[in-house]
Structure 1
Amino acid sequence: MNIKHVIPHKTDKTLTINSAETVKAAIRLLHTKGVGLLIVVDDQAELFGVVSERDVIRVLDEKGAEALDMPIADLSTRDVITCPGEAHPHDVLDKMFEHNIRHMPVMEGGKITSLVSSRDLIKYVAKHLKPDEQAMLWAKLIQLH
């Protein structure tokens, strides 16, 4: 079992935004697509960073309306925590807990192929794991949220 089994349906929900786009554009995308994290890419479509709903809320609280015209690059997290598609869900959850994150890009061949969230893991646990495996993951998920 690997993380690809948790997220085979997620490739269409992995949204990117160019690093030159504004905070306002990121808000629009987060809202209209109903996602909590955007992958920020450079002009060559290479990974630049990530920006979350929390990042946007923080900058709006700090700078007010003037933040809306800032480039999304200015608030992107550059040191992105990722996992390979072959990673075990337990390992992904451990990494999420260790870094206090709820979303993790999945990488294949140096490219982001999808995005896994703690919510994806919860759904998977509820459907597929044995009771003892569920108990282990539930304990970790409770700590993450």
Structure 2
Amino acid sequence: MYVKSILDEKGRNVVTGGPQLTVRQAAVYLHENHIGAIVIVDRNDRIAGILTERDIVAAVARNGAECLEKPISSIMWGNVHRCGEAQSVEDIMDMMSKLRARHIPVEKDGRLVGIISIGDVVKAHMRAIKHEAEAIKAYIAS
């Protein structure tokens, strides 16, 4: 299975924001959308950064509540690891494991086209295992 098939199934909507958002506004977006990361994009939908719920917790732990009024550009990750639609689920699982990342933005032709979460990868992997088990059972039964 590939990233493209996961996005085709789950959709390509990504909650995004600009670097001028405050940390508090980003936290509200995360909460209201029931997500763990917001992708920061520039005017051309190019990935400029990523901010996760863990980043917000770490910023509050380091700097106190006053960090909530700072722009997300002050705490976001600017060096964003990303993938393409043609990458396999196995590649993404390996990437997430090595990077200890729960969210990987997907880009095509330099523009954001989706996001893959660890939950998406686990679901896809479980479906593949189930499909393989069913195929083996059908083969044995025939």
The bucket for the TM-score relative to the shorter chain is 0.7 to 0.9
Q: Distance in 2 between matches of 1:43 and 1:84?
A: 21
Letter in 2 for 1:111: R
Q: Distance in 2 between matches of 1:121 and 1:99?
A: 15
Equivalenced residue count is 130
In the alignment, is the contact (CA less than 8 A) between 2:89 and 2:124 conserved in 1?
A: no
In the alignment, is the contact (CA less than 8 A) between 1:39 and 1:49 conserved in 2?
A: yes
* 2:32 aligned partner: 32
Cα offsets for 1:50-97 (capped at 9, x unmatched): 000000010011111211110000101011110110001101111111
- TM-score, normalisation: structure 1: 0.84
Structure 1 residues without counterparts, runs of 5 or longer: 132-145
> Alignment identity in percent?
26
- TM-score, normalisation: structure 2: 0.86
Q: Answer with 57-66 or 26-35: which moved more.
A: 57-66
Letter in 1 for 2:68: L
Letter in 2 for 1:77: W
- The higher radius of gyration belongs to 2
Structure 2 residues without counterparts, runs of 5 or longer: 134-142
How many angstroms does 1:112 deviate by? 1.0
* 1:142 aligned partner: none
In the alignment, is the contact (CA less than 8 A) between 1:82 and 1:105 conserved in 2?
A: yes
How many angstroms does 1:124 deviate by? 1.3
How many angstroms does 1:43 deviate by? 4.3
Cα offsets for 1:84-128 (capped at 9, x unmatched): 100011011111111111110011111110000110011112223
> What CA RMSD, in Å, does the superposition of the two structures yield over aligned residues?
1.3
* 2:109 aligned partner: 109
Establish whether residue 10 from structure 1 lines up as the match of residue 32 from structure 2: no
